[in-house]
Amino acid sequence: MVSTSLYKLSVKQHLALLGYSALVWSLLPVLFIRQLLKGVRKDPKWAQRFGVLPDKLPTGGWLIHCVSVGEVTAAAGLIKAILKRQPELPIVITTTTDTGAEQVNSLLGDRVRHCYLPYDTGWAMNRLLRRLAPKRVVIMEVELWPNMMRQCGLRQIPVYLVNARMTERSAARYQSFGALFQPMLQGLSRICAQGERDAIQYRNLGASEDQLVDTGNMKFDIAIPHQAKEQRADLRRRWAIENRLVIIGGSTHDPEEMTLLRTYRALRKNWPQLLLVLVPRHPQRFDSVADLCEKQGVNLIRLSQNTPCTSETEVLLADQMGKLNQLYLLADLAFVGGSLADRGGHNALEPAACGLPIIMGPNQYNNPMICQALEDVGALCSVEDAAELQRQIRDCLLNPNLRQQSGRAGLRAIERNSGAIEKTLAVLFG
């Protein structure tokens, strides 16, 4: 099913697309200068963002677009399942961030090819699609671009939105830009919604029943580590923290590191064996978080030093990408970042898969159904502020049985809600 709506625009929709395209073109000189200032040595693939594609990209396969790390992680299981069905299928993955590109390489290696998604001009998207000639375009979650969708429509390329989410906040924003959003929505062959709440939002925005399929959330298909106890013991020996209680702050944003440092300092008076692991969400903040720790007088070891902790070590700073899941394995308790900071909260299923009790702040709008599912079974506790965070961590430290019960509940929730990848495959190959 390929919609023709994207190349039969109303006058209003056509004017909206022209205005949007003019805005993008007006921003390109600024973006170009910024990339030049960053330097080719720092970003050798910067030209791809302007439509200059790498050599030897395969043609006639599938194009899968993921924004960044979270979407790549969620898509990895689906992509492996696709390749299991069709091992020779050429797959090109596009991302918009460097961290997303690194995650593609880390999780999928040479099984796929990667390039950066160009800025959304008709010229660049035409060039991308003409070069790749994909049989299908698969977009993760909610990353729709007007010119990309229009060029797919002109070529009659089926576009599937998978693991599709739609928060109330996003729905309101898209509704206010209806002349741009409606053609994109109508041009989707299928919308594989994460859950009924997301399907309702898409339906209210104008998606048809034929387009919508509730496939569930692929993030629940996360791999639960086999032999987790053995891996945990090995990691803790490697870092010389066998007898430490470990709190991890995963995917943190400013000012969450400071909040965790203050909480840690207050609690260490009663738990001298306490260790705090900080994993900032963005690599460009590694040095600034290290500076923050040093200004606070914290005894710090950086992961990149590859040096075991000592009894004096207070904070282990993960200053390397792709280490979060491994670090969750060695922890006793997890705080998931972007939730006290107003970033919508990051993936709580990663610590749940490692059997950890989870604490998050009130901002959980990126993954509300996941957070609710974990909270309903007692695997996740929501707190409103720094004071409540400290109280909840203290309660968890005082009660090892509570930590174990919460961890087991999270594992059960993952097992109960898994299966979205198989349902999505049925849509893609149906």
Each of the 430 residues of the chain gets a pLDDT tens digit; together they read: 555 455 578 999 999 999 999 999 999 999 888 877 776 556 657 789 988 998 889 999 999 999 988 899 999 999 999 999 999 999 999 999 988 999 999 999 999 999 999 999 999 999 999 999 999 999 999 999 999 999 999 999 999 999 999 988 899 999 999 999 999 999 999 999 999 999 999 999 999 999 999 999 999 998 777 777 788 999 999 999 999 999 999 999 999 999 999 999 999 999 999 999 999 999 999 999 999 999 999 999 999 999 999 999 999 999 998 899 899 999 999 999 999 999 999 999 999 999 999 999 999 998 888 999 999 999 999 999 999 999 999 999 999 999 999 999 999 999 999 999 999 999 999 8
Q: With respect to residue 333, please indicate whether it lies within any of the assigned structural domains.
A: yes
CATH code (residue 285): 3.40.50.2000
Q: Which two tokens stand for residue 409?
A: 């509940």
What pLDDT shows up at residue 70?
Answer: 86
What is the separation, in whole angstroms, between the first and last Cα of the chain? Answer: 11
Q: With respect to residue 384, please indicate whether it lies within any of the assigned structural domains.
A: yes
Q: With respect to residue 424, please indicate whether it lies within any of the assigned structural domains.
A: no
What pLDDT shows up at residue 40?
Answer: 59
Digit-coded pLDDT (tens) for 126-158: 999 999 999 999 999 999 999 999 999 999 999
Distance of CA 184 to the CA centre of its chain: 22
* Judgement on whether residues 262 and 160 belong to the same structural domain of the protein: no
* Judgement on whether residues 155 and 298 belong to the same structural domain of the protein: no
* Judgement on whether residues 181 and 128 belong to the same structural domain of the protein: yes
Q: With respect to residue 350, please indicate whether it lies within any of the assigned structural domains.
A: yes
Give percent above pLDDT 70 in the chain.
97
**Helices marked H in 45-121:** 69-85, 98-108
* Residue 402 near residue 357 (C-beta atoms within 8 A): yes
> Among residues 272, 278, 281, which one has the least CA distance to residue 258?
278
* Judgement on whether residues 40 and 173 belong to the same structural domain of the protein: yes
* DSSP calls for 117-167: PPPS-HHHHHHHHHHH--SEEEEETT---HHHHHHHHHTT--EEEEEE---
What pLDDT shows up at residue 41?
Answer: 55
> Among residues 58, 81, 78, which one has the least CA distance to residue 66?
78
Q: With respect to residue 369, please indicate whether it lies within any of the assigned structural domains.
A: yes
**Helices marked H in 269-367:** 286-295, 324-329, 349-353
> Among residues 413, 389, 256, which one has the least CA distance to residue 333?
389
Q: Which domain holds residue 169?
A: 5-214
Q: DSSP character for 95?
A: E
Q: Which two tokens stand for residue 348?
A: 């709580």
Q: Which two tokens stand for residue 209?
A: 């029943």
* Judgement on whether residues 277 and 391 belong to the same structural domain of the protein: yes
Q: With respect to residue 426, please indicate whether it lies within any of the assigned structural domains.
A: no
* Judgement on whether residues 185 and 267 belong to the same structural domain of the protein: no
Q: How far apart are CA 420 and CA 163, in angstroms?
A: 8
Q: Which two tokens stand for residue 284?
A: 């460009």
* Judgement on whether residues 172 and 282 belong to the same structural domain of the protein: no
Crossing angle of helices 146-154 and 122-132, rounded to 10°: 50
* Residues 6 or more apart whose Cβ sits within 8 Å of residue 232: 329, 330
* Judgement on whether residues 240 and 202 belong to the same structural domain of the protein: no
Crossing angle of helices 178-186 and 11-38, rounded to 10°: 90
**Residue that finishes a domain, picked among 214, 243, 260:** 214
What pLDDT shows up at residue 230?
Answer: 86
What pLDDT shows up at residue 4?
Answer: 45
**Residue that finishes a domain, picked among 214, 249, 280:** 214
Residue 400 burial by CB count (10 A; 0-12/13-18/19+): exposed, middle or buried? exposed
CA dihedral defined by 122, 123, 127, 133, rounded to 10 degrees? 30
Q: DSSP character for 399?
A: -
Write the CA distances from 148 to 22, 98, 119, integer angstroms.
15, 20, 9
Q: How many domains does the chain have?
A: 2
- Return mean pLDDT, the chain: 94
CA dihedral defined by 369, 372, 378, 379, rounded to 10 degrees? 40
* Judgement on whether residues 137 and 58 belong to the same structural domain of the protein: yes
Q: With respect to residue 425, please indicate whether it lies within any of the assigned structural domains.
A: no
**Residue that finishes a domain, picked among 214, 237, 260:** 214
Q: Which two tokens stand for residue 167?
A: 């928060």
Q: With respect to residue 152, please indicate whether it lies within any of the assigned structural domains.
A: yes
What pLDDT shows up at residue 430?
Answer: 86
* Judgement on whether residues 250 and 334 belong to the same structural domain of the protein: yes
Q: How far apart are CA 309 and CA 57, in angstroms?
A: 44
* DSSP calls for 313-341: --EEE--STT-HHHHHHT-SEEEESSTTT
Q: How far apart are CA 78 and CA 199, in angstroms?
A: 20
CATH code (residue 191): 3.40.50.11720
* Judgement on whether residues 166 and 189 belong to the same structural domain of the protein: yes
* Judgement on whether residues 305 and 172 belong to the same structural domain of the protein: no
Q: Which two tokens stand for residue 223?
A: 């791999």
* Residue 188 near residue 161 (C-beta atoms within 8 A): yes
Active-site residue set: 71
Digit-coded pLDDT (tens) for 173-219: 999 999 999 999 999 999 999 999 999 999 999 999 999 999 999 99
Q: What sign has the CA pseudo-torsion 195, 197, 200, 204?
A: negative
- Strands across the sheet containing 190-193: 113-116, 91-95, 62-65, 136-140, 159-164, 190-193, 212-214
Q: Is the peptide bond before 255 cis (omega within 30 degrees of 0)?
A: yes
